[in-house]
Structure 1
Amino acid sequence: METSTYQDVNQQVVERCKGGDNRAQYELYKLYSKAMFNVSMRITNDYAEAEDVLQEAFISAFKNLHTYKSEASFGSWLKKIVVNAAINSIRKKRSELVPMDERMVAEVPDEVPDDNDVEWQIDKVRRAIQRLPDGYRVVLSLYLLDGYDHAEIGEILGVSESTSKSQYSRARKKLLEIMREPHFAA
């Protein structure tokens, strides 16, 4: 019942935004900016760029609010805008997904290492993810952290589902490789 009330309040704020209420726009921004910044940051891996993406995404959302249908939550609709804006920002930097035939990843077993091999601390994982090449980091973030499936990721990035799966597999292996580096242990 509490979730329903929250959704009703959000829907009321959205309706006020559609009516041109600037205070309602600020309310939506306050409600969603932190979570959407985190999505942007995971994809862009750059604080200033993530801020720019966030602002562009909100501007786009407010301009296109008339296209929002209540079929999905406002947060889901906004998240798609943020993800697309972040990916477009990366594309502008002329970064590309790592080619399928590139051999930069050494073969690393798929099994999760024991705690004795690698300390699985959140900070270490975050730092390791930040070191991934853009293509790997984007696919890994969209799949693991944002919950998109490979078909959706392929659609978002303009690649095939199998390319998304391959990038994810390589990203996982590269992530483990980074975390096993002796100088990374600190």
Structure 2
Amino acid sequence: MKKLSYQDVNHLVIDRCKSGDHRAQYELYKLYAKAMFNVSMRITNDYTEAEDVLQEAFVSAFKNLHGYKAEASFGSWLKKIVINASINAIRKRRSELVPLDEQQMADVPDEVNEDYSEWQVDKVRRAIQKLPDGYRVVLTLYLLEGYDHSEIGEIMGITESTSKSQYSRARKKLLEIMKEAQFAN
């Protein structure tokens, strides 16, 4: 008897979800909830809001499961829903991206090559949490979630150049926060 792969099991669970099986929905939730919560938490920077986004995203995913075509992994499809729900939650807070144009991007110093090995992961995480929403979202989508600026622009409804500017400014602000924290210790 052939052993089923993870993807085969995933597809079976998804098929059961499509037919309205609530146990299968719970199985799918258990498989993805922690990872999707972490994605939302990195974007919203608020535990309660990330929990709400997670629930909203799963409800949306289950309602729209018929639209999942398995062209990408279920996790990727769900992650897009979580990211969009997280961004919408931030928009509900009425936070706005700092308006920047391409000209302003030129005056950002390139400090990427500095050696940051002295900083611990926890310090970096805390510094990212201190970034303004717009900066944190773009930085998270670009560095942690692997989206390019064109995709970020599409997701957030901004231009690619605005995404690049936001990323550049976020990087600069992150360095400032980390340097301040270093001198505070």
CA distance in 1, matches of 2:7, 2:157: 32
> What is the identity, as a one-letter code, of the residue corresponding to 1:11?
H
Measured against aligned partners, the alpha-carbon deviations of 1:63-112 in whole angstroms (never above 9, x if no partner) come to: 111111011110000000000000000000000111216x9xx9554243
Contact 2:149–2:164 (8 Å) recurs in 1: yes
What is aligned with 2:69? 69
CA distance in 1, matches of 2:158, 2:50: 23
What is aligned with 1:110? 111
What is aligned with 2:98? 98
- Map 1:140-179; keep pairs closer than 5 Å: 140-179=139-178
SS at 1:164 equivalent = helix
- TM-score for the superposition, normalised by structure 1: 0.90
- Which structure 1 segments of 5+ residues have no match? none
> What is the identity, as a one-letter code, of the residue corresponding to 1:90?
I
Pairs aligned (count): 178
Contact 1:154–1:164 (8 Å) recurs in 2: yes
Following superposition, which runs of at least 4 residues in structure 1 exceed 2 angstroms of deviation?
Answer: 106-109, 111-115, 182-186
> What is the identity, as a one-letter code, of the residue corresponding to 1:53?
V
- Which structure 2 segments of 5+ residues have no match? none
What is aligned with 1:125? 124
Contact 2:41–2:50 (8 Å) recurs in 1: yes
CA distance in 1, matches of 2:172, 2:129: 14
What is aligned with 1:86? 86
Sequence identity (%): 77
Contact 2:108–2:168 (8 Å) recurs in 1: no
